[in-house]
């Protein structure tokens, strides 16, 4: 007797559901994306018990007639592609024809839809048609999902807690709202409104509605293009950073995607503007010809493949770097008094984007008053350097805690971290020497010997040429020992020992996929740190004046090479407000 049998449609749908539907957010994703493809302008999602009991999606799209309503639950039935060639020109979010039958096979579905001419109501339990009858003519679709995984208890037990499922759903809808700022989205859980966007068509306003005032007012608009890709979106100033990558949102032709290479490029654009363990807030829209991307590589369509990826990476990297360079990145201290905020007691069951807490119950949430968002935009067709800080005349007037220089000018007071500031100055001096390629060498009066372990010595022999190319004259001296007899002139007098040993350590620890640019940055940052005055180290006013004079000449005077702020400003108004000299 043969062992191979054709699976029943019910079984194949359940298997497909295992790929498409893993949690409540997956169901909401498929249903809402169908609503977007139906050209809806208002989409409402209503959940009971975070969707574990009921998921309801209401839209005002073009709806379906009675035939399409029934066919929509057939596997591989879709209105979005008709032939193989269409796979290369996908302009919709859904196209596989698997979502509705997969969801219907593991839940109880009630759908009411109308194209304005015919109204249809269909009910399906576990993939089996229960009801098919006429309904009212309200244009659009209402689809209700009850008892998810009721007939597959093995899948149901892997669902997370209500709070976790709700957080995942909110996170998805927030991203979708940012992808389609012209669509109004509403999310309710147990009749309590969780999320609402107005559908204004303004991306910055949508960012404000999703993330709040603190983030939206610190966003910089970017806009650029090349022959293959168009970029538009907002990137945060480095004073707004998060401890995870969840805020790096990339949208390709209206589809929210997660692409590791793209995220890495975005993060690299913030190099030296932030610590490595922190991540920026970015909402980036990428538009391109559908033939240059492949969205058909994963059942959930969350990943994507790009043709001409190098072209896209260069465009993203240079656009974000130029935006950060042009923006004035000195953090301002903002003083908020009690009468500036509304204190609203609210029960909040989730917090998708807060890095420190997941759930806040019965606490007092302080909600800021709404304010106008004024945003400078940057178009990079013609670039101009931001010379604003270089025009500042800073006069040192004090030194506090052995670490901070107090300076002023006619408008503001400034606090400067002496170590971060001098570290930036030294970093740019070292990196400039490395990038110029022309290295001036000076012999050492007393050569420096470096003793290595056998394994490290083997690594050194492989990396020897790199070290010599940086301007060092090295000879072998005995067993596993090298002697440095000359060094590049950019090393600070008195720090030869430290810098040379640091260089050897950096070379030996560096991965095999050696990248010259990244190595230079990393080495220059390490050397600059060791060359700079430390915190809790008293300096004279003459030294402070010299640091300030060198700092304002830097290409990026705002941060140390490791991303920490070097300078913070206090306006006269903010200081007088703290001392109650002004009361408004």
pLDDT in tens, 112-163: 999 889 999 999 998 889 999 999 989 999 999 998 887 776 566 667 788 8
- Interatomic CA distance for residues 566 and 533, integer angstroms: 13
C-beta atoms surrounding 337 within 10 Å: 11
pLDDT digits (tens, 9 = 90+) for 78-115: 655 455 444 444 555 654 557 788 888 888 999 999 98
List 112's β-bridge partners, or say none: 121, 142
Integer Cα distance of 509 and 499 in angstroms:
15
Average pLDDT score over residue span 259-278: 85
Is a pLDDT exceeding 50 seen at residue 2? yes
Where b means 16+ CB within 10 Å and e means fewer, 128-149 reads eeeeeeebeeeebbbbbbeebb
DSSP state of 391: G
Average pLDDT, the chain: 77
Confidence label for 176 from pLDDT (cuts 50, 70 and 90): very high
Distances (CA, A) of 471 to 3, 9, 434, 527: 72, 71, 9, 15
Q: Are 104 and 73 in contact (CB under 8 A)?
A: yes
Please report the pLDDT score of residue 254 as a whole number: 85
Instruction: For 266, list phi and psi in degrees, rounded to 5.
Output: -60, -45
- What domains does the chain contain, in order, with CATH numbers? 9-196 (3.30.565.10), 202-386 (3.30.230.10), 388-584 (3.30.1540.20)
Instruction: State the pLDDT at residue 360.
Output: 33
Return the axis-axis angle of helices 496-509 and 516-531, rounded to nearest 10°. Answer: 150
pLDDT at 3: 61
Helices marked H in 43-157 — which ranges?
66-71, 99-105, 153-156
Give 361's pLDDT tier (boundaries 50, 70, 90).
Answer: very low
- Cα dihedral sign, 71-77-83-86: positive
pLDDT reported for residue 159: 75
Residue 263 contacts residue 318 (beta carbons within 8 Å): no
E strands, 135-266, where? 140-146, 184-189, 192-196, 219-225, 229-236, 241-242, 248-252, 255-257
What is the pLDDT at residue 202?
93
Query: Which of residues 155 and 319 earns the better pLDDT score?
Result: 319
Taking a C-beta distance cutoff of 8 angstroms, is the pair 435, 520 a contact?
A: yes
| Residue 375 CB burial class (10 angstroms; 0-12, 13-18, ≥19) | middle
Percent of the chain with pLDDT over 90: 22
Q: What is the pLDDT at residue 347?
A: 38
- Per-residue pLDDT averaged across 335-362, rounded? 40
Quote the pLDDT of residue 295.
Answer: 67
Helix crossing, 418-436 with 516-531: angle to 10°? 140
Position 41 pLDDT exceeds 90? yes
pLDDT at 238 over 70: yes
549 compared with 563, residue with greater pLDDT? 549
- The answer to whether 552 and 387 are in contact (CB under 8 A) is no
Q: Which of 45, 261, 321 is nearest to 170 (CA)?
A: 45
pLDDT digits (tens, 9 = 90+) for 558-570: 888 877 888 888 8
**Predicted pLDDT at 535:** 84
How far is the C-alpha of 73 from the C-alpha of 100, rounded, in Å?
6
**pLDDT computed for residue 234 by the predictor:** 95
pLDDT for the residue 57: 95
pLDDT at 384 over 80: no
Task: Calculate mean pLDDT across residues 457-477.
Answer: 79
pLDDT of the residue at 378: 40
Residue 203 has pLDDT above 90, yes or no: yes
Please determine, for residue 338, whether its predicted confidence score (pLDDT) is greater than 70: no
Confidence check: pLDDT of 265 > 50: yes
Determine the average pLDDT of the residues in 506-533: 70
- What band does 331 get if pLDDT is binned at 50, 70 and 90? low
DSSP-assigned letter for residue 139: S
Q: Worst-scoring range by mean pLDDT, 194-203, 248-257, 471-480?
A: 471-480
Q: Exposure pattern of 198-218 as b/e (b: 16+ CB <10 Å)?
A: ebeeebbbbbbbbbeeebbbb
Per mean pLDDT, which range of 24-38, 465-479, 499-513 is the poorest? 499-513
Six-digit token string for 278:
């922190």
Q: What's residue 568's pLDDT?
A: 85
| Spatial separation of the C-alpha atoms in residues 148 and 52, rounded to whole Å | 6
DSSP 417-468: EHHHHHHHHHHHHHHHHHHH----EEEEEEEEEEE--HHHHHHHHHHHHHHH
Residue 410 DSSP class: S
Cα(18)–Cα(106) distance, integer angstroms:
10
Query: pLDDT value at position 534?
Result: 86
CA–CA separation, 531 and 501 (whole Å): 13
Under the banding of pLDDT at 50, 70 and 90, the label for residue 182 is: very high
| Of 12-26, 49-63, 316-330, 548-562, highest mean pLDDT | 49-63
With left for phi above 0 and alpha for psi between -120 and 50, is residue 347 left, alpha or beta?
A: beta
Helix (H, G, I), strand (E, B) or coil at 470: coil
Query: Is it the case that residue 454 has pLDDT exceeding 60?
Result: yes
In the predicted model, what is the mean pLDDT of residues 354-359?
A: 36
């Amino acid at each position: 007797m043969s062992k191979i049998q054709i699976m029943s449609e019910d079984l194949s749908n359940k298997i497909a559901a295992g790929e498409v539907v893993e949690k409540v957010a997956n169901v909401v994703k498929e249903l809402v994306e169908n609503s977007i493809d139906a050209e809806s302008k208002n989409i409402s999602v209503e959940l009971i018990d975070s969707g574990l009991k009921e998921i309801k999606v209401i839209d005002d799209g073009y709806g379906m007639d009675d035939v399409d309503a029934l066919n929509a639950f057939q596997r591989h039935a879709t209105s979005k592609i008709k032939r193989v060639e269409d796979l290369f020109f996908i302009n919709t979010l859904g196209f596989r024809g698997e979502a509705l039958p997969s969801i219907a096979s593991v839940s109880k579905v009630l759908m009411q839809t109308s194209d304005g001419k015919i109204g249809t109501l269909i009910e399906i339990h576990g993939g089996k048609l229960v009801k098919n009858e006429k309904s009212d003519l309200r244009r659009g679709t209402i689809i209700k999902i009850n008892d998810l995984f009721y007939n597959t208890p093995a899948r149901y037990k892997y669902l997370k807690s209500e709070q976790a499922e709700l957080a995942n759903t909110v996170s998805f809808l927030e991203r979708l709202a940012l992808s389609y700022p012209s669509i109004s989205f509403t999310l309710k859980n147990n009749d309590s409104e969780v999320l609402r966007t107005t559908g204004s068509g303004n991306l910055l306003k949508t960012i404000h509605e999703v993330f709040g005032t603190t983030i939206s007012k610190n966003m910089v608009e970017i806009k650029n293009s090349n022959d293959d890709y168009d970029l538009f979106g907002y990137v945060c100033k480095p004073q707004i950073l998060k401890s995870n990558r969840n805020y790096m949102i990339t949208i390709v032709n209206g589809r929210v995607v997660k692409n590791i290479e793209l995220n890495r490029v975005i993060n690299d654009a913030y190099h030296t503007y932030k610590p490595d363990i922190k991540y920026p807030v970015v909402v980036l829209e990428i538009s391109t010809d559908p033939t240059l991307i492949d969205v058909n590589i994963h059942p959930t369509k969350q990943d994507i493949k790009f043709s001409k990826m190098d072209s896209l990476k260069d465009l993203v990297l240079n656009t974000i770097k130029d935006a950060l360079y042009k923006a004035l990145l000195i953090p301002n201290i903002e003083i908020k008094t009690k009468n500036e905020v509304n204190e609203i007691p609210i029960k909040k069951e989730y917090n998708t984007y807060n890095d420190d807490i997941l759930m806040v119950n019965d606490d007092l949430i302080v909600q800021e008053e709404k304010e106008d968002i004024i945003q400078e935009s940057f178009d990079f067709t013609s670039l101009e350097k931001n010379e604003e800080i270089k025009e500042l005349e800073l006069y040192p007037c004090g030194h506090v805690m052995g670490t901070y220089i107090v300076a002023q000018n006619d408008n503001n007071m400034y606090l400067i971290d002496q170590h971060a500031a001098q570290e930036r100055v030294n970093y740019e001096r070292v990196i400039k020497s490395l990038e110029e390629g022309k290295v001036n060498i000076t012999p050492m009066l007393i050569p420096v010997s470096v003793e290595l372990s056998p394994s490290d010595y083997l690594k050194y022999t492989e990396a020897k040429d790199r070290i010599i190319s940086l301007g060092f004259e090295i000879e072998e001296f005995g067993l596993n020992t090298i002697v440095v007899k000359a060094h590049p002139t950019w090393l600070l007098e008195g720090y030869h020992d430290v810098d040379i040993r640091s260089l050897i350590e950096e070379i030996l620890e560096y991965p095999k996929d050696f990248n010259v640019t990244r190595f230079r940055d990393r080495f220059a940052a390490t050397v600059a740190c060791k060359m700079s005055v430390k915190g809790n180290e008293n300096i004279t006013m003459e030294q402070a004046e010299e640091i300030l004079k060198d700092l304002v000449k830097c290409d990026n005077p705002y941060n140390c090479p490791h991303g920490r702020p070097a300078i913070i400003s206090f306006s006269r108004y903010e200081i007088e407000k703290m001392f109650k000299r002004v009361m408004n």
